[in-house]
Amino acid sequence: MQKQIFDTSFPENYSRGLYDEYNYDLNATYTGMIADVIFSSTASVLSAMKSMDHPTAFIIDKASNVFVAAGIVQYFPNEEDPKKPGNWSLTFTFNENDIPENAVTYRLSDSQVHSHFRAIAVDKYHFQFATPESIIIIPSYFFSQLYKWLDENAKEGEEVCIEYEGVFQARVAVEGGEKVFAIEPDGEIKVLIKDDAAIQK
């Protein structure tokens, strides 16, 4: 089963939850815009911080450093011809154990990365985050609600997918009685991490 995000209960759940838990009045119709800002900003942070020497992870956490999700960028050399450029890989995960042990990590709760979120929100949609706290709450709550939606809609023998075209796809499948979750960037988000080695370390 594959559904577009606005064909599901997710936008209403996200909007209602933000209001009930944080008193944030964010209309459900803005959910796609928020998703784009979150994924684009995460890719922007990772693009700025990446290195060919080690993986880099950007952890979406709550203010108390509670892990919610992460974006990870890694450089893979060209195995067929080491003289040719390799590739950058951008992945997302709900599982903290997916972060490589040698990764250099950055956190959403670190104010140094907030400029990426502010800039993309203004440049793409002409809106501003009201407070530094909102830059933490809006993305972390998005991923926690995305996980919750997948968890509640998982079905035995069927892969369930929710997507916002051009931004992300999130999936869940039941394998051996356990739920397996995945998130993938889509469209321009993947392009934000350039796939060649022409970038300095």
- Two tokens at 29? 């119709």
Compute the distance between CA of residue 130 and CA of residue 148 in angstroms, rounded to an integer. 26
Tell me the average confidence (pLDDT) per consecutive run of 10 residues in the chain, 201 residues long.
94 97 95 96 94 95 90 88 82 96 95 95 93 95 97 93 95 92 89 56 35
Q: Return the pLDDT at 172.
A: 97
Rounded-to-integer distance, Cα 180 and Cα 146, Å: 14
Q: Are 55 and 102 in contact (CB under 8 A)?
A: yes
Residues contacting residue 64 through CB under 8 Å, at least 6 positions apart: none
- Reference 171, options 66, 72, 56, 92; nearest CA is 92
Q: pTM (2 decimals)? A: 0.91
Nearest to 170 by CA among 180, 179, 181: 181
**Residue 142: what residue type?**
F
| pLDDT score at 197 | 42
What local confidence, expressed as pLDDT, does residue 103 receive?
A: 96
Tell me 158's DSSP state. Answer: B
Q: Report how far residue 156's alpha carbon sits from residue 159's, in angstroms, rounded to the nearest whole number.
A: 8
Number of helices (H) and strands (E) in the chain: give both, helices first: 5, 8
| pLDDT of 78 | 79
